[in-house]
Structure formats: structure tokens, C-alpha cells
Amino acid sequence: MKGLKKIGLMALSLAFVGAVASCGGSNKTSTAASSQATSSSEATGSISDMYDVEHEITDSPTDTYRLSSISVDYSNATTIFYVGEEFSYEGLAVKKSYIVTHEDGTKENKIITTNEFTVDSDAVDMSAVGTYTVYVQARDGASIKETNYKIEVKSSLFESTAGLTYNAGLQVTYSDNTLIKTSLLEDSSYNYETIINGLNITLQKKTVNATATEVVDEDPITISKSDANLTIESSIDINTVGTYLIKLTYKGEDKTINGKTYSNNVTAFLVYDVTNPIQSITVLATSSATLFEANIDGIDPAANGWKVKVTPTVGAAYTEAYSSDKYELSGVDLFNWGQQQVATITHIESGVSATKIIQINESTTQNIIPYYDLTPTLSDYNGAGNPETVMIGGTDFIYGPLPYKVGDDLYYDSGATYTTGRDTKDLYGSIAFPVRVTIKGTSQAFKISMSTAGQIVVFFASSGDEARDLCFYNEVDGAIGEEIDSTTSSDVKQTITRVTFTADAAGNYYIANPSGGMYIHGFIIATAK
């Protein structure tokens, strides 16, 4: 498997007993929403209505200046845009208003025009009709003032022009009323002229009423393939597999609005696919290439030199190297050592599969133990009848969050719970997890005793609809955080994520979630032999 992060321990001198409050706390950042505080001055159409004379601020050893507000003059800026245009604030004038206190205590207002301001247009969506707020901010030292103005995005300039009739669209389909046509590579029955002559083409016009309050659809007009205003472009090559476009453009008369000329052309596209489906694939590998050594990352046929013979529908068969980008391996039990298995190899794009007999032998360098069933075994009761140890997997490698009561039910510290019967619901590839454990906070950490240096694979998911931090640390060193992208939704209740941590030495290590909640589904522990 690819993309695994391997993280070694980093001494941060934080004791586990005190619990880690956050996961790699100093590297967490948060982004607040843009400030939309009420301005002390609203945007106006013209600044000259407020002040007759503009003043220049001059340095004075006795006068003090305080920025009281800012204002914008958008009379020379664009405030009406059309869908698809690019937002611009060119022509916007920004002025700062100062309260000046003189040595004798008298005060006056002074205004200057400034080129030092910022414009926040994040709230503007130029792809959607609507009225939007543009925020403007200026500062003087530590003093920051903000104001705003409105812009409007309309559907089209033509729709806003009273009495105008214009070309609104071109509708084109193949003769069978479809938008996509497919043929096999080198299909001798393909005839470009026949395809084009069979196209159905209609032109849709619209008329704006006299008050520009309503747009009416005219009756569609059928366009002939020989119409002088119609242009058809295509680069279809039946001898090359690919997806091609047929572009049709109908040239209309240009429209002049407010002294500017606008194109009245309309365009439509059709898709033409030239395909060559794969009929079958055959895996080519020597006997020695079907033998693999167990490891926590899975087997890699490419590393053993596998090749795949591909037989297409048209043309001769060809052979290519096995690649995880093109092929997917499934049906392999990584822990069925020394026994023959049937591996399935699937061509990802076409879905065509083949099988190959393989064998996975025990690792010569690592002790690899999977822990997919996290049902605890209770032992070491104290005087109050509470267990002090919850072992997972029946060995001394993994210990789960401790319960504080034993009886008909188990009650776990701070709400950690074991949920069974999940094997048909919680899957990671071909791995099924019959139990999941919900943990919250570092007090519910899983303890993992490593007899030597090695690797710890954790399968986990967020218990909510947001990312969680997975923490990995030991008793004397601080937490190392792994930000995960594990979310829930209405159709996928949880996404199981896999991450690999590296333990640099023998000792006790801990897996926890410092905030929120997290499902732990299973582990793989690999220690050096």
C-alpha cells in the first residue's frame, strides 16, 4: 500500500501521566471568518456630498490625528456585472476621515484620499445571479476601519436590455437524439458525412419585454446543416482511441448596447468516443515471482516483475508491466502464510479481471501480528473488584481503555465503549473489523508494549463529521499528532483511515485522541526478529 506516513518519536518532555492536552499543539492553526464589523461610515454614492473641501494631513508636533472612519465612492467603479465576468473594483475611490485635535483642544475633521486599502470579495460569486457585499478596509497604524458597498450579478446583458431579441442557445443531438456516440476503433461503418447530415439542430431565440422585466422564449428554429451561418468543427480520428468533440457555432448579428458591440453567436458540442474495449487479461509471472514475503504494507506484484497480457477487441494483443495505477489486487489474505491463495487482478478502467495463484510466506525480518478483534480480556483485579488490565488479542502487546465495573455490563472510563458485530459494516479493503472501540481523550489511550523497535499500524475513523487528531506518544515523550481526514455523511457512515507509526525503540507507546471522539478498529504490530 502506498502513501503511509512513518513518524518517529520526538522528545518534548511531556509526561503521559499528566495527559497531553493537544496533539502537536503549536502546529495547529485556525482561520477566522472575514471581519464584517459595522462601519462607522456607510458607503455613499459620492463623497462630495459630505465634504466640500479635501484636506491634506501635514505633520505637526502639536496636533494629534485619529482615524475615525473610511468611506468609498463607487460612482466610477462597476457595480453591475454579468455571470461569467471577472470581478473588478477598478475606479473605486477610498477616503479616510480623521479627527484632528489641536493644541488648544479644538477639533476638526480632515479627509484624505488613499491608495492603501484592501478589498475582500470572497462573498462574491460571479457564477451565480445575486446581490453581493464587497468589504473595504483601510488602516492607520493599529487602527483599522471597514466599510462596504453592494454589487449585482445578473444573468446576461442581453436579458437586461429592453426590447431586444437575441440568440439564446443552440440545441444539437445526433439522429437518435443522443449527445454522445460511440464507435469501435477502425470501424469501417463510420462515415463522417452521414453522422453530420443526421444531426438535429435548433436555434433558440428570446425576446425581452419593453420594461426588461420578462424574457419570452420564441419558437425554436430548425437550422439546416448547409446554413451559411453554421460552422461545424471536428477532429475525429477513427484510427485512434479517444474522446472527440464536434463543435457547432451559429453566427448571429452582433448587438450594440450603450455604444458597445457584443457577439450574438451561440455554440453547442457533441461527444464522439472511439473505443477499443479489453476482452481479456492474462497475468504473466514466473513461479518464483508468485512467492511473496509478509510485510505490513501488502504485496507488490510490480516489485516481483509481473506483466499483464492485454487482448483488446480490435488489433493485436500487447504486454505491459503490472502497475498499481492500472491494476488492482484483491482477495489476498496477508496473514495466511505458507498456503496457496487465489489473487484477483482487475484492470481498473475496464473492470476485466484475471486470477493468479500466489503464496505469502512468513517474514524473515519481522514478527507481524494483526489485531482485528478488539474484544478485551479482563485480568489483574484490584481489591475493589475492578480490573487493572484490559488485554486485546490475548497477548501482552496491546491494552485497551480500562473498565471500572465488571458485571452483566462493562462500564468504561469516561465513556469508552466496545461495539461488536461490526464485521459486515466496517471494512478496509478486504479486512473486516468485528469490533470497534470509541475513545475520547488521552485518558482512554490504547497502550502498546513493544519488545523491540518496530511499526504500529492503526485503523481508525472519526466518530463525528469532522477531522480528528490521532496522537502517538510514550510515557516520557510528548505527543506526535497525525491530522486525519475521516468524515461521516448520510451515505458513508464512516471512512476508515490507515496510518503507520514507527517506534524507534522498545517501550510502551500510546494511541489516543485528545479531543472529540474516534473509532479504533484494529492494529497491526510489526517488531524486529
**Residues near 105 by beta carbon (within 8 Å), at least 6 away in sequence:** none
The whole-angstrom separation of Cα 106 and Cα 101 is 6
Domain ranges for the chain: 47-154, 158-275, 278-364, 369-528
Burial 133-152 (b: 16+ CB within 10 A, else e): ebbbbbbbeeeebbbbbebe
Predicted local confidence at residue 39, as pLDDT: 33
Predicted local confidence at residue 356, as pLDDT: 97
- What φ, ψ does residue 303 adopt, rounded to 5°? -65, -25
As beta bridge partners, residue 269 has 247
Could you read off the pLDDT of 180-234 as tens digits, one per residue?
A: 999 999 888 877 888 888 899 999 999 999 998 899 999 999 999 999 999 999 9
Domains 47-154 and 369-528 are alike in CATH topology = no
Asked whether the predicted pLDDT for residue 25 surpasses 50, the reply is no
How many other C-beta atoms are found inside a 10 Å radius of the C-beta of residue 465?
10
Instruction: Report yes or no: 94 and 117 within 8 Å, Cβ to Cβ.
Output: yes
Could you read off the pLDDT of 267-313 as tens digits, one per residue?
A: 899 999 999 999 999 999 999 999 999 988 889 999 999 999 999 99
Instruction: Report yes or no: 427 and 495 within 8 Å, Cβ to Cβ.
Output: no
How many other C-beta atoms are found inside a 10 Å radius of the C-beta of residue 282?
14
CA dihedral sign, ordered 116, 120, 125, 131 = negative
The whole-angstrom separation of Cα 154 and Cα 230 is 29
Residue with cell 461488536: 420
Nearest Cα neighbor of 220 from 160, 255, 266 is 266
**Residues near 386 by beta carbon (within 8 Å), at least 6 away in sequence:** 402, 403, 404, 405, 406
Considering the four listed CATH numbers 3.40.640.10, 2.60.40.10, 1.10.1530.10, 3.40.50.700, the one that applies to the domain covering 47-154 is: 2.60.40.10
Residue with cell 485512434: 240
- 31: pLDDT confidence band, cut at 50, 70 and 90? very low
376-400: average pLDDT: 71
CA angle in degrees (0–180, nearest 5) for 479-484-486: 140
The whole-angstrom separation of Cα 185 and Cα 274 is 6
25: three-class secondary structure by DSSP: helix
- Give the distance, in angstroms, between the CA of residue 427 and the centroid of all CA atoms in the same chain: 22
Task: Tell me which H or E stretch contains 193.
Answer: helix 192-197
Nearest Cα neighbor of 249 from 270, 226, 272, 233 is 233
Q: Mean pLDDT lowest for which of 40-49, 97-106, 275-284, 347-356?
A: 40-49
Predicted local confidence at residue 492, as pLDDT: 62
Task: Tell me which H or E stretch contains 195.
Answer: helix 192-197
Instruction: Report yes or no: 340 and 357 within 8 Å, Cβ to Cβ.
Output: yes
Q: What is the CATH number of domain 369-528?
A: 2.60.120
Asked whether the predicted pLDDT for residue 19 surpasses 50, the reply is no
Q: What is the CATH number of domain 278-364?
A: 2.60.40
Predicted local confidence at residue 216, as pLDDT: 94
**Residues near 83 by beta carbon (within 8 Å), at least 6 away in sequence:** 126, 127, 128, 129, 153, 154, 155, 156
Q: What number of CA atoms fall less than 13 Å from residue 362's CA on the CB side?
A: 7
- 471: pLDDT confidence band, cut at 50, 70 and 90? confident
Q: What cell numbers appear for 370 in the block?
A: 494483526
246-251: average pLDDT: 94
Q: From residue 119, give the alpha-carbon distance in Å to each of 17, 90, 111, 149.
A: 50, 11, 20, 11
Predicted local confidence at residue 490, as pLDDT: 58
Return the DSSP state at 11: -
Asked whether the predicted pLDDT for residue 66 surpasses 80, the reply is yes
pTM of the model: 0.58
- 391: pLDDT confidence band, cut at 50, 70 and 90? confident
Q: From residue 293, give the alpha-carbon distance in Å to each of 4, 362, 479.
A: 19, 6, 33
Predicted local confidence at residue 456, as pLDDT: 93
**Average pLDDT, whole number, for the chain?**
81
- 401: pLDDT confidence band, cut at 50, 70 and 90? confident
- What φ, ψ does residue 288 adopt, rounded to 5°? -65, -30
As beta bridge partners, residue 142 has none
In angstroms and rounded to an integer, the radius of gyration of the C-alpha atoms of the chain is 35
The whole-angstrom separation of Cα 39 and Cα 92 is 17
Asked whether the predicted pLDDT for residue 164 surpasses 50, the reply is yes
Asked whether the predicted pLDDT for residue 467 surpasses 50, the reply is yes
The whole-angstrom separation of Cα 220 and Cα 204 is 5
Predicted local confidence at residue 482, as pLDDT: 75
Asked whether the predicted pLDDT for residue 145 surpasses 50, the reply is yes
Asked whether the predicted pLDDT for residue 61 surpasses 90, the reply is no
